[in-house]
Amino acid sequence: MTGMLSIMQKLDKLRRIIATGFCFALFGVGGLCLTFVVLPLLTRSIKDKTERELKVQGVIQKNFDFFCRTMKSTGCIDYRIIGAELLRQDRNCIIVANHPSLIDYVLIASCLPQCDCLVKAAIWHNPFIKAIVKAAGYIPNQAPDSLLNDCSERLKYGNVLLIFPEGTRTTPGQPSTLQRGAAQIAVRTGTDMRLVHITVTPNFLTKEKMWYQVPDSKPFFKVEVKGKIPVSDFLTADSQATAARNLNRHLAHVLFPEPEQ
């Protein structure tokens, strides 16, 4: 409880609130610089759309890496990414991860010079983010047919695609439900899945709390890159719909394993 903290602990918590505010302000300034300085320069200098999208994704990766390192160096958080080299080696792969916090995507994408991402359609109407996600070639989660075609096109060229199957951040203490979109894409494109599991202790930047509601102790993010799920194991089902249901059921089990007794 906050009321039981020592003076030093309270001061440390206040320092982390200020540092977190600074980091997110820096993140916002970086986004504005990308939108109004970097992206226009890249648009003029690189005419090929695919080449330009890859360049933008590389710039985003460097910015995300800088943001994560800044959060760590200022004491806002600590984190460890286990198996980042596996992500960098993946080609023609769907990365699926659980989603406990606001910066899950940032942590994963900070390791990947190339990373397509499935984003909420609402983001495309956000004036501060729209230009960046469009320039990076991210895929809006909208009409199923166009979504599948877009994902299939990217995966055909060997790209990696990051999807959070929950569709939104996890609510601590409540069971999670997976949408079937990631499984449908994997089955219909014949693409294997790379599993990533994220834990945050204590909870921080969850769906229910604002950025300034920091925990009493410094949060630790553990990002574990795990094995692949071969989609071929599920394509023996009678139909693609059945295969997607079976894959989604398996995905829920491995993303949220039952606690050991």
The pLDDT value given to residue 1: 46
Q: For residue 82, what pLDDT is reported? A: 97
Cβ pair 226, 213 in contact under 8 A: no
Q: Please tell me the predicted confidence (pLDDT) of residue 3.
A: 57
219-222 contacts, C-beta under 8 A, 24 or more apart: 219/77, 219/78, 220/77, 220/78, 220/79, 220/80, 221/77, 221/78, 221/79, 221/80, 221/101, 221/103, 221/107, 222/79, 222/80, 222/82, 222/198
Q: Which residue stretches of the chain have pLDDT < 70?
A: 1-3, 258-261
Instruction: Give residue 177's pLDDT.
Output: 84
The reported pTM is: 0.91
Q: Check whether the bond before 257 is cis (ω within 30° of 0).
A: no
pLDDT of residue 118: 87
- pLDDT score for 261: 42
159-205: pLDDT as tens digits: 999 999 998 888 887 888 888 889 999 999 999 999 999 999 999 99
Contact 119, 151 (CB under 8 A): no
Q: Are 219 and 204 in contact (CB under 8 A)?
A: yes
- Which pLDDT score is estimated for 259? 52
